[in-house]
Amino acid sequence: MAEQVSSSPFLRPFFLKTPLRVSSPLRQRRHTLPASEFRNLTPQDAISVFEIEREAFISVSGECPLTLDEVLNFLGQCPELSMGWFEEGQLVAFIIGSGWDKETLAQEAMTTHIPDSQTVHIHVLSVHRHCRQQGKGSILLWRYLQYLRCLPRLRRALLVCEEFLVPFYQKAGFKEKGPSAITVGALSFMEMEYQLGGLAYARRNSGC
C-alpha cells in the first residue's frame, strides 16, 4: 500500500487497476471507469454521499451526522479533507472532515470549518450497506490517515462515535479521550484522537 500522495493540497485520483483499452466506442465507454479509485470528494458527489449517509444513519438513529446542505458546505470549503472510494465509478465509502482549532470537539464543530488549523475533525465515515463487513471502512480510514499525514500543518484527527464503535477506531490507532460534550438528539458520544505524527515523519516514511 505504498501509493504516492501528491504534495498539492488535493488528492490526485489513484487507481488500483489500470482501465482496459478496447477498440469499440461502446466497450471503451464501459471500460473507462476504473475498477477502484480513491479521490477527494467535490460538491458534485454530495448526492451520492448523502444517499449512503441517509441509509446508514436515518434508519438506525433517525439522525444524520451531516445534512445535505452541510455535506455541500464542507465539500465546497475543504474538499481536501474528504476522501471517497469509488468502484466502477460508484461511491462505495467516504470520509468527510473539516478543520478545527480547539483541544476537544464542541457542538459548534459539527457545522464549522476552521481553515489552516492543525486538527481535522472527521465528521463521518460511512460504507455503502452492500459493502460493509468487507474491510472497506478500515482500509479507507487507513488511506485517509496516511493521506492526512502528508498535508502540511496537520497534527491530529479527532472524531466522536458511539460507544460500540470505540474498538473499531482503536484498531485503526485512535485513542479514547473520554465522553464528548457533543450530543445529537438523545445520542451521546466518545471522543477519539489520532496523532498524525507531523510532516517530517510522513516524508521519511510514506514518500510524500
Ligand X SMILES: CC(C)(COP(=O)(O)OP(=O)(O)OC[C@H]1O[C@@H](n2cnc3c(N)ncnc32)[C@H](O)[C@@H]1OP(=O)(O)O)[C@@H](O)C(=O)NCCC(=O)NCCS
Residues within the interface to ligand X (CB under 6 A): 56, 65, 124-127, 132-138, 161, 164-165, 167-168
Min CB(115)–ligand X separation in Å = 23
The Cα angle at residue 20 between residues 16 and 23, in degrees rounded to 5? 165
Nearer to ligand X, 85 or 147 (CB): 85
Min CB(118)–ligand X separation in Å = 22
Q: Is the dihedral of CA 135, 140, 142, 143 positive or negative?
A: positive
Among all chains, which residue has been given the C-alpha cell 450530543?
Answer: 183
Nearer to ligand X, 98 or 202 (CB): 98
Nearer to ligand X, 182 or 199 (CB): 182
Nearer to ligand X, 175 or 203 (CB): 175
- Would you give the DSSP letter of residue 21? P
Min CB(143)–ligand X separation in Å = 12
Contact 189, 180 (CB under 8 A): yes
Min CB(92)–ligand X separation in Å = 9
CB atoms within 10 A of CB 112: 16
CA separation for the pair 85, 127 (Å, rounded): 9
